[in-house]
Amino acid sequence: MPRGGRPLAEPKVVGQVPSGAAVAAPPPLYDLIELFFFAYRDFTADADRQLAGLGFGRAHHRVLHFVDRHPGLTVASLLDILKITKQSLNRVMKDLTDGAFIEVRTGTSDRRRRTLHVTPTGGRLAVDLAYLHSARFERALSPLPPEVRRQAVEFLLGMIDAGERDRVVDLVFGEPALPAAEAAVRRDDASREHAA
């Protein structure tokens, strides 16, 4: 029984059967589709309110989040993670760099290479937003058995395209899934900085 105390009813099926579909085809999973929509709406609204005060939106949040979680990320890697074009990233990056939330550094071994890093202000904002999201997850998970978190992770991974899943697992739970050449340059940079 869900939190509201009412038993779940079968979702309403309204609309037309897609052309060419057999009449006996199961209805779309409207309950999951709509619950996912409303959960995402409220999940993003928590951060949207705080970002709006800075003149930022969700694109700013996504960039700030991944740069905070993966210091030294290149623009190419960020574009690949977000699956957006460089043109759509430019305005967001300008806002974040002009506002001193993100800084672009020159690579130590390859001066043409630019890496992205949050500033102390950007890092604080990224963590504040992560705590907002964490609080919502904790409220949703707290009345449920502990194994539900693992099941939620499995469900969310199942929603990701199969070809991207391993890369996302590496990004979320391990080292960022970087191109091999970039990973090697990062290791060289880290070795040089450590030796200095």
Which structure tokens are listed for 49?
Answer: 């309110």
SS (H, E, C) the chain: CCCCCCCCCCCCCCCCCCCCCCCCCCCCCHHHHHHHHHHHHHHHHHHHHHHHCCCCCHHHHHHHHHHHHCCCEEHHHHHHHHCCCHHHHHHHHHHHHHCCCEEEEECCCCCCCEEEEECHHHHHHHHHHHHHHHHHHHHHHCCCCCHHHHHHHHHHHHHCCHHHHHHHHHHHHCCCCCCHHHHHHHHHHHHHHHHC
How far apart are alpha carbons 122 and 119 in whole angstroms? 5
Q: For the segment 75-96, what is each residue's pLDDT rounded down to a tens digit?
A: 999 999 999 999 999 999 999 9
CATH class of 32-195: mainly alpha
Q: For the segment 4-42, what is each residue's pLDDT rounded down to a tens digit?
A: 666 566 666 556 556 665 567 899 999 999 999 999 999
Give me the pLDDT at residue 12, please.
Answer: 62
User: What is the domain partition of the chain in residue ranges?
Assistant: 32-195
Percent of the chain whose predicted confidence (pLDDT) is above 90: 70
Q: For residue 190, is pLDDT > 50?
A: no
Give me the pLDDT at residue 89, please.
Answer: 95
Q: What does the pLDDT average to over 169-186?
A: 62
Give me the pLDDT at residue 119, please.
Answer: 97
Q: For residue 193, is pLDDT > 50?
A: no
